[in-house]
Amino acid sequence: MSIKKNMKVKTLKGASSKLVANIIKMALKNSGTRKVIIKTVEKYYLVFKDPARPERIEEDRNAMVRALLYSLDRILSHKGISKNAMERLIDIFFLKVFVKDPRPREKYTRAFGFPPPAFVTISPTNVCNLKCKGCYAGEIYKGTTMEYEIFDRIITDMKNEFGSHFTVISGGEPFSYNDRGRTLVDILKKHRDNYFLVYTNGTLIDEKMAKQLGELGNIAPAISVEGFEKETDWRRGEGVWKKIMNAMDNLKKYGVPFGISVTPTRNNYQLLLSDEFFDFFFKKKGAFFGWYFQYMPIGRKPSMDLMITPEQRVAMYKRMWQKVREDKLFIADFWNSGTTSDGCMAGASQKGYFYIMWDGTVTPCVFVPFTDKNYGNIFEVYKRGETLTDLVTKSAFFSAIREWQYSYFSIEDWREKKYRNLMTPCFIRDNSSTFYEIVKMVEAKPVDEGAKKYLSLVEKGDMPEYNRKLKELTDPVWEKEYLRKNLVNELSKN
């Protein structure tokens, strides 16, 4: 094919893609056609199931996608949502993140034999105006802030190298970020083709900030709460609850979609899954999504006493899926939703992510505070003239994690009916002995004292015993709800 003809074909393909995108965009803006699209997607997921997966896995995935779509519908139907927030939700989140352009991912997969990570989580500063009990970010608060140029480059490289248009921002407190006068808002302005999920304590979202976010539209803050006023102020400090309530009111006023982020412990898990809690935040305050991050014994003064017990985790699993299926609430548990993500997402895995801290430290996951000995800092990687792709593909730690993930879950194994329990998919929380072996094998380094303390919990047998008890409880549920049900369905077809 001649260069001129090839360019013409590419132009036509580009024009065709834009036409399809514009049609979808127009349809999504209309409430009636939007509901038709949602019903169509629901039917698609029910009809085009992956025969390799147990049917209950497909039902879980369908339920979560349905909850996400209904949440998007609630956002877009909300009269108070800003015009720009609606535009960015459709243009970026739905068309770029949810639908995706497969070309950059296909190019990467052809080159390396596995798909690229879907997103990155960046904590650009460890500056925080609060000191919450048990914070996963630990005691390393020395006022360190990532240079704006590096922050900007990481997001740019994620788009160019991996085709990723979704970035998670954490901290520290993201709205405390300030590098020589440049703030998080400047990043949002620079990357208008990127959608940002920002985990924040909410205390710095005043009316002026909320107005800016509404004008930009490419952000969804996830505000941390611990329950109601008593529980939140106990962990986060006196008066924080009232500031959070003001922040939510400000976001609603300027049409910014937001959600909540919670840390269940053995003391508050029932409250965080109560009808009272859901009604208050989703119906009264207007949250559109909720993320659940069970307390992990890492970070500041790690303690096994705060961890959800194995019995509580199973109870949480059942309650969360009940709310997702029956009420179509988009709530996800970083561990109990493992069936929807094919297990562990750490180490820049397929559909997964990795984590970059304020000082350039790179870890496989926010909850895995250990780093590769050679590819453990993005600043050093960039100084050597290497790229994010080099970091992801050459890190021995990341590679070992992906190998374990593949041994724990692969479609090839599932086609042969070899199933592993995806209710316990996490290699640091649910399979701590395996995690310990990997750390020792690749000589991964702990990033803080909390990480060292976690290793001691494995060495003393505390975490392995927790894992044993959890598997005793979840294996029968996995067998009954996922495998036995799948076998019965297969036999009924024959």
pLDDT in tens, 172-216: 999 999 999 999 999 999 999 999 999 999 999 999 999 999 999
Measured CA to CA, the distance from residue 102 to residue 163 in angstroms comes to 8
Pair (87, 128) in one structural domain: no
Pair (186, 237) in one structural domain: yes
Query: Shortest CA distance to 217 belongs to which of 340, 108, 372, 81?
Result: 81
Measured CA to CA, the distance from residue 11 to residue 30 in angstroms comes to 29
Query: What SS3 class is residue 427?
Result: coil
Measured CA to CA, the distance from residue 291 to residue 261 in angstroms comes to 5
Pair (53, 114) in one structural domain: no
Query: Shortest CA distance to 113 belongs to which of 401, 362, 403, 345?
Result: 403
Pair (79, 66) in one structural domain: yes
Mean of the per-residue pLDDT values for the chain?
89
Measured CA to CA, the distance from residue 394 to residue 112 in angstroms comes to 11
In a domain, 196, yes or no: yes
In degrees, rounded to 5, the angle at the alpha carbon of residue 257 between the alpha carbons of residues 264 and 288 is 45
CB-CB neighbours of 442 under 10 Å: 19
In a domain, 471, yes or no: no
* Residue 109 pLDDT exceeds 70: yes
> Token pair for residue 33?
């056609």
* Residue 74 pLDDT exceeds 90: no
CATH number of the domain that residue 186 is part of: 3.20.20.70
Pair (80, 176) in one structural domain: no
109: exposed, middle or buried (C-beta count within 10 Å: 0-12, 13-18, 19+)? Answer: middle
Angle, nearest 10°, between helix axes 462-477 and 310-327?
Answer: 40
162: exposed, middle or buried (C-beta count within 10 Å: 0-12, 13-18, 19+)? Answer: buried
Show which of 99, 132, 159 is a domain's final residue.
99
Supply the range of the domain harboring residue 306. 103-381
| Average pLDDT score over residue span 105-132 | 92
Residue 360 preceded by cis peptide, ω within 30: no
* Residue 3 pLDDT exceeds 50: no
The pLDDT, as a whole number, for residue 23 is 67
In a domain, 252, yes or no: yes
Our count of domains for the chain comes to 2
Measured CA to CA, the distance from residue 486 to residue 419 in angstroms comes to 11
Query: What SS3 class is residue 1?
Result: coil
The pLDDT, as a whole number, for residue 93 is 82
350 band by pLDDT with thresholds 50, 70 and 90: confident
Which of 148-162, 297-311, 383-397, 403-417 is the least confident region? 403-417
Which of 202-211, 394-403, 460-469, 481-490 is the least confident region? 481-490
Pair (266, 135) in one structural domain: yes
Read out DSSP for 270-303? HHHTSHHHHIIIIIIS----EEE----S-SSS--
The pLDDT, as a whole number, for residue 35 is 79
Q: Where are the beta strands (DSSP E) in 111-177?
A: 119-122, 166-169
Pair (243, 107) in one structural domain: yes
Pair (134, 116) in one structural domain: yes
In a domain, 78, yes or no: yes
The string of pLDDT tens digits covering residues 238-293 is: 999 999 999 999 999 999 999 999 999 999 999 999 999 999 999 999 999 999 99
What amino acid is encoded at 276 in this protein? E
Cα 204 to chain center, whole Å?
A: 23
110: exposed, middle or buried (C-beta count within 10 Å: 0-12, 13-18, 19+)? Answer: exposed
The pLDDT, as a whole number, for residue 394 is 98
Q: Which residues pair with 221 in a beta bridge?
A: 198
Pair (167, 272) in one structural domain: yes
Percentage of the chain lying above the pLDDT 90 cut:
68
The pLDDT, as a whole number, for residue 164 is 94
What amino acid is encoded at 109 in this protein? T
In a domain, 388, yes or no: no
Pair (84, 168) in one structural domain: no
| Average pLDDT score over residue span 111-127 | 95
Query: Shortest CA distance to 118 belongs to which of 102, 139, 137, 142?
Result: 102
CB-CB neighbours of 15 under 10 Å: 10
Pair (125, 183) in one structural domain: yes
Instruction: Evaluate whether 396 touches 374 at the Cβ level (below 8 Å).
Output: yes
CB-CB neighbours of 129 under 10 Å: 14
Cα 327 to chain center, whole Å?
A: 21
Pairing outcome for strands 178-179 and 182-183:
antiparallel
* Residue 79 pLDDT exceeds 80: no
> Token pair for residue 470?
């959890």
Measured CA to CA, the distance from residue 120 to residue 175 in angstroms comes to 18
* Residue 21 pLDDT exceeds 70: no
The pLDDT, as a whole number, for residue 135 is 67
In a domain, 412, yes or no: no
The string of pLDDT tens digits covering residues 133-147 is: 766 555 555 689 999
In a domain, 414, yes or no: no
Show which of 338, 359, 381 is a domain's final residue.
381
Angle, nearest 10°, between helix axes 55-77 and 310-327?
Answer: 60
Measured CA to CA, the distance from residue 80 to residue 402 in angstroms comes to 43
The pLDDT, as a whole number, for residue 484 is 76
Q: Which residues pair with 10 in a beta bridge?
A: none
Measured CA to CA, the distance from residue 355 to residue 368 in angstroms comes to 9
| Average pLDDT score over residue span 103-107 | 83
| Average pLDDT score over residue span 225-233 | 93
User: How far is CA 112 from each of CA 162, 219, 255, 408, 442, rounded to the nearest angstrom?
Assistant: 12, 32, 42, 20, 21
| Run of H or E residues at 377 | none
Pair (88, 118) in one structural domain: no
53 band by pLDDT with thresholds 50, 70 and 90: confident
379-391 b/e with 16+ CB inside 10 Å = b? eebbeeeeebbeb
Long-range contacts of 17-25 (CB under 8 A, 24+ apart): 17/101, 21/95, 24/90, 24/94, 24/95, 24/99, 25/90, 25/91, 25/95
| Average pLDDT score over residue span 328-350 | 93
Backbone angles phi, psi at 260, to 5 degrees: -125, 155
Instruction: Evaluate whether 82 touches 256 at the Cβ level (below 8 Å).
Output: yes
Show which of 330, 351, 381 is a domain's final residue.
381
Read out DSSP for 398-413? HHHHHHHHHHH--HHH
Percentage of the chain lying above the pLDDT 70 cut:
88
In a domain, 178, yes or no: yes
Backbone angles phi, psi at 128, to 5 degrees: -145, 140
